[in-house]
Structure 1
């Protein structure tokens, strides 16, 4: 048990939980049992070798009534609610331990998908930079439930001032901790596939202690998955171009690309583009610059504020060819350099004002960001919707940050051959990109 920020929290991992639950499982190793004696099913995993905790050990999920839940846990407040479930902050009535209970509606997901996320999180949570699951795993009449440590400061999205960005020192702290989390996952041949600020949980508002969360989309390197319609700014270009029929192979370079976009978002308070596709004018401008050899005399409009060292870092993280991207830990050598040039930021703003009057360039809302930088310490920020769709060529404005999530009418998120997956907060809708539900704030 640990004490962080005045909240007592449990730090445990799945191996201990699994050992405890093996004796409870009526199904034996390799099966998923239910306390109610419901039908069992093998926990599958694409990629051949699988993950040991899922292939070699069993998870038993016991059944509790609503009255039992109330008996064991004191409800403090609701942390989030979405189409696929909810997250409650509770305290164990005996131990006084605060935790986040994640309820996933049974009608919206499959048991094996729920248990995959639980077991993967437990396997990875030996890293100090990955959220920990607790020895709490049960089902109610309508939900599957597991517990994880409570992050009292919310998520990274909440603290990024729109069109301003975070102080560089905070960004560098995030880069180091997230880089270590992703490097640990990649050393296990696992790819997160959903790196974005909503999935970075905070234990303090200065980002001195943060953790990566939400492993519902995590897959093994080499696993072939189908893609859904639509993209979000963190989606790598090879995924944007992938056929929905053939899908694409999971590689660590997908996380590297998303990590690069996330660093840009933290530093600027904007997306670099809305989709890594030729139809997106901002992305196409960046690609032309890359193809030209990244000339210093012709920085892309949104990238003028960065130092030469930062631009070298982004060139390696955001290489269009996946095989040319660096590893996430390679960014550590750039942390010692300045990333944003105040001189270039001011010059960039003056240039954009002139371009705006000629309607042939980019009009950046960040030109007025300095006057609003004092709001960066507030508890929450309003993130406006984009005013210009991708591909518009005149009076372009940087895409402001928003909570976004991939969605599809036929399969929640993405699905692997032979297995369907869905997670809380993902809505089935015809729109290509929807605002994420509040549940993603907390889980």
Structure 2
């Protein structure tokens, strides 16, 4: 989110010349439906649907950094999504977005993550190679528009855009703007606009009809403003909270971050988040954080130290969000910033501070030997589960996915039904199903 890139990519629209941001097209739904409770906005309905969905609740049992069953108070994908939503709602509102819309995008942004987090995502991508791969963001769109049973297309007189799926599930049937706000990577596999080798994408081939609908009238490959707010809120939430968790667990020693040798290793990790930044610039970013009065010199687990950690998180979130708000306002001026009239501007210095925090969490929490051993076992569980279910299907599949498997028109669609089944599991239910179909796994 480099501010220079955003300055050159964004049209110069003054507030007085910006169109109505949330018109009928933004509020439209894939399948039209009346509101049962007049007086609510379309985006309030969207937020309620995501909050009440089984797919969101499932994230309580899905790994964020530490597996849910390995600590009494771990951050899970659900708590991360809630924290991201709180950050995004306030930042979006400060910039003129509909707060319910931004919150919906934040709540839904990780809803497609499978058991074991990114480890499960990588294992499922390998298992799904012959049917187009697996990506958590593309799975999010699939859940929102197909897998979460809330609304169905009519059997008769279905809109032409729904052919050939009359009567099929259309998921939560969110508004166009809400689906767009949850879309972090608006392109297909291998179509990243600036990095062809990127593994990130937001839609599978068989979900292109609804994707084209939700993106109708949007600039190609460009995220809407609400999605850029969601994206930065995601970065802010997990970079700050993962460091907080690492300090509290004793995995991060603040004093070690002053060691030249440790810094050299840390900045190698940071290259994945800031490939254009030399070590000297990353060192300056870390020094700026060290110079803050709220940066911890040590952590001993006392009540005062715990309060200090909470203040650290609060200060970092405020620092990162305020910087983005001020830089964006400096670029666009006052007024409502929504949809495609603007892009969030994140100053480079702040982006690098966030990148360093991500690297701290990766190096001292995720790269610990025990964590890598755990991830290795988790990859095996997912691979063996995919093989067992594919061999035995439709046996072993839930009723919904068994029906999809039997209705599949080809082997690709049949495999996708198996992959969808696995992706809906929590960490614990994946282990339980693996034990039933394959046998007890090594301790995970």
The answer, yes or no, to whether TM exceeds 0.5 is no
Structure whose residues are more often strand by fraction: 1
Structure whose residues are more often helix by fraction: 2
Higher RCO, Cα 8 Å, sep 6+: 2
